[in-house]
Copies of this chain bind each other. A is one copy, B any other.
Amino acid sequence: MSKNLTSRSEDYSKWYNELVVKADLAENSAVRGCMVIKPYGYAIWEKMQAELDRMFKETGHQNAYFPLFVPKSLFEAEEKNAEGFAKECAVVTHYRLQNDPDKPGKLRVDPEAKLEEELVVRPTSEAIIWNTYKGWIQSYRDLPLLINQWANVVRWEMRTRLFLRTAEFLWQEGHTAHETRQEALTEAELMNNVYAEFAENFMAMPVIKGLKTESERFAGAEETFCIEAMMQDGKALQAGTSHFLGQNFAKAFDVKFANKEGKQDYVWATSWGVSTRLMGALIMTHSDDKGLVLPPNLAPNQVVIVPIYKSNEQLDEISQVANDIMKDLRAQGVTVKFDNRTTFRPGAKFAKHELQGVPLRIAIGPKDLENGTVELARRDTLTKQIVTMDTLTSTITSLMSEIQDALFQKALNFRDTHISEANTFEEFKHILETKSGFVSAHWDGTTETEDRIKELTKATIRLIPMNNIQEAGVCVLTGKPSKERVLFAKAY
């Protein structure tokens, strides 16, 4: 099975596409650009959802649900936002099909059932939500309003890739309303920090926190916080964004509140989101040429037990031991599966679990029964050890955190050795062509220069890191003065 996987060095992009499909994570559907998330992939997404949801609630947010459709007149109310998304909107124009008189058994759109006003399938929900908030907010007593939504959104992208860029994707979108500018800014940064914490502690994926430049900001935002991760090919992946929206949406939808002094003022807003794109980030951060590698925190099965047997009698004996092991592991909160399918041989099972990134594999054969041992194989390092039954549970529970940490450290080392400083444009290009990774360089602060560098190198400014060192220098392209370095990279 895994022998069919293209290696990363041969063709990184092909490796990714094959891995997603072969590990049963997702596949393309009959609908252009839309994916099917398969059960194994969805189980990982559910673990992400559960932890993020817990973190959102812990920080005072509640879930709600807003309509899939946005009437065109609402969609266009906040001009920059509308302009930013107009080119990729799926639009509902009719509400009925009818039998096609020319083609028996076929249907066609009923021309009589044309909507008076077209409905945009939400590419993001600021418009419909702020139109709703208008009815919910009258006074400072109604603030802050801290709401999150788990939903599907549609952006009609021309070039799509499973998880990384799909026409429909799943995400959460937080939309909050505040009394003051400062409170909204604090919220936007807080949620970016929540994302960073989740990425690092849960996905074992190191990220850099920072701000987007003006040209990379969310359409309609005054400031966009983000977390950026580095993939194994040195490219950057924007893993989450959190926007300070100022009063833009409040003004577009006329959402005012009476403040403590009784005066009317526009509400301050944030929005923030992460999506199934995180699945792509997870895959590309840890996986290897044999398939998926999963951090224990996100593995649907942290341990799998494979019996090696010749007779049914042997299988019965092994099953008894396996049941004991499962009982002990589950009592410790470890998820474990006994792969006792009789339709597959152990070799095929080993290959499948390796491809699917199960962190630990236990193999039990007749000899193990005699010796009171099992063979324990670790997916991330591909190492094996013989473990006695009496120390198995404690070995596994400590390996769970050891593997989680090891994956993070490995990714962190990779990233930190792939951030290079460039002081001339020659150096800048040389790094991108040879070493790849992020380039830390001075920039004169203009969109013009940013665009020109992108044209010349395909690298964009990924972010201006938080708490960035202030250091006088000159722009790597124009030589104009600069007071801090920013991070450039080619990006997903």
Residues of B within 8 A of A92 (CB): 90-93, 121
Whether, in the assembled complex, A362 has its beta carbon less than 8 Å from a beta carbon of chain B, the answer is no
Q: Contact string, A34-68, partner B, CB cutoff 8 A, digits 1/0?
A: 11111100110110000000000000001111111
Residues of B within 8 A of A27 (CB): 132, 135
Complex Cα distance, B91 from A97, in Å, reads: 8
Q: Which chain A residues (88-130) contact chain B, with CB distance < 8 Å?
A: 88-99, 105-107, 109, 118-121, 128
Residues of B within 8 A of A79 (CB): 105
Residue of A141, A151, A156 contacting most chain B CB atoms (<10 Å): A156
Complex Cα distance, B42 from A64, in Å, reads: 5
Contact A91 B88 (CB under 8 A): no
Whether, in the assembled complex, A417 has its beta carbon less than 8 Å from a beta carbon of chain B, the answer is no
Number of copies: 2
Known: A65-B42, A170-B65. A90 touches B95 (CB 8 A): yes
Complex Cα distance, B166 from A66, in Å, reads: 13
**A119 is contacted by which of B31, B105, B120, B132 (Cβ under 8 Å)?**
B31
Residue of A29, A67, A88, A147 contacting most chain B CB atoms (<10 Å): A67
**A109 is contacted by which of B36, B88, B118, B121 (Cβ under 8 Å)?**
B118
**A67 is contacted by which of B34, B70, B72, B147 (Cβ under 8 Å)?**
B34
Complex Cα distance, B93 from A93, in Å, reads: 6
Distance from A90 Cβ to chain B, minimum over Cβ atoms (Å): 5
**A147 is contacted by which of B39, B46, B66, B71 (Cβ under 8 Å)?**
B39
Contact A46 B63 (CB under 8 A): yes
Residues of B within 8 A of A31 (CB): 67, 69-71, 119, 128
Known: A71-B31, A119-B90. A156 touches B95 (CB 8 A): yes
Closest chain B residue to A116, Cβ basis:
B32
Interface of A is mostly: mixed
Distance from A32 Cβ to chain B, minimum over Cβ atoms (Å): 9
Contact B62 A37 (CB under 8 A): no
Residues of B within 8 A of A34 (CB): 67-69
Residues of B within 8 A of A168 (CB): 67-69
Closest chain B residue to A46, Cβ basis:
B63
Whether, in the assembled complex, A86 has its beta carbon less than 8 Å from a beta carbon of chain B, the answer is yes
Whether, in the assembled complex, A131 has its beta carbon less than 8 Å from a beta carbon of chain B, the answer is yes
Whether, in the assembled complex, A387 has its beta carbon less than 8 Å from a beta carbon of chain B, the answer is no
Supplied contacts A75-B107, A90-B119, A93-B93, 18 more A-B pairs, CB within 8 Å: A30-B128, A30-B131, A31-B119, A38-B64, A39-B64, A39-B147, A43-B62, A45-B65, A67-B168, A79-B105, A82-B97, A86-B96, A86-B98, A88-B96, A92-B92, A92-B121, A109-B118, A121-B121
Q: A residues engaging B (CB < 8 A)?
A: 27, 29-31, 34-39, 42-43, 45-46, 62-72, 74-76, 79, 82, 86-99, 105-107, 109, 118-121, 128, 131-132, 135, 141, 147, 151-152, 154, 156, 168, 170, 343
CB pairs A–B below 8 angstroms (10 shown): A27-B135, A31-B70, A31-B119, A36-B64, A39-B64, A39-B147, A42-B63, A68-B152, A82-B107, A152-B152
